[in-house]
Structure 1
Amino acid sequence: MKLECDITLMGGTFASQPLAFAHLLDAAQAQGISLDLDHVEVIQSNQPARLAQWFTPDTCQSIPTTQTLIAFLPASGGPLAPTDHLRPLGTFPAQITRAPLPKD
């Protein structure tokens, strides 16, 4: 099932996904935010195809992919305030796919 939502993106430069997640955890703790990392995606630079799962082609083209992207999905508890390593890129209309819940 496709659900309409907004996804907030932040960008930065990280050598790997584990380093990006470590920074997210440190920043969240410093900012008093409880992030659910199951709902945060780290997309290494130059992988625009990964954005197509959520955004329209026009939206994908408007997002700079030359940096590591951090996608805060609706249940993430984010986004974070900007840090020395992360800057906000914006909030974009999107669709996420979720399995429907079974009826009792």
Structure 2
Amino acid sequence: MNGEAIFTEYLLPFTGILIIIALVATVVGFLMSIATDPKSAITVLGTVAGLAILFFIGYSMADSSVTARELNEFGVNEDLSQKIGGILNMTYYLFGISIVAIVIDAVQRIIKSIG
């Protein structure tokens, strides 16, 4: 069995299961936080709205072109290709935001240690 077959037959479905588990845990955690502190729901809803905005920005900037290989082998049409591109773009945006946040935090710590 080659590496690609192992990936498509075992690791890809396992990744899907992990994503579903993470989604369920997130929803349960959100519901528990609403039950314990209803005011915290506003922060969580703001975060979800921010992620949705980042996705729609990424989706609108994504390319919907599909090659013949992608269409035949994977069944990816133009709409699915654009959705995948939107998720990838959102991931890039979040990565950039996290790098900026890390740099800002480091600069603030340096300034506090000096002053």
TM-score by length of 2: 0.21
Structure with greater contact order relative to length (CA < 8 Å, sep ≥ 6): 1
TM-score by length of 1: 0.23
Structure number with higher strand proportion? 1
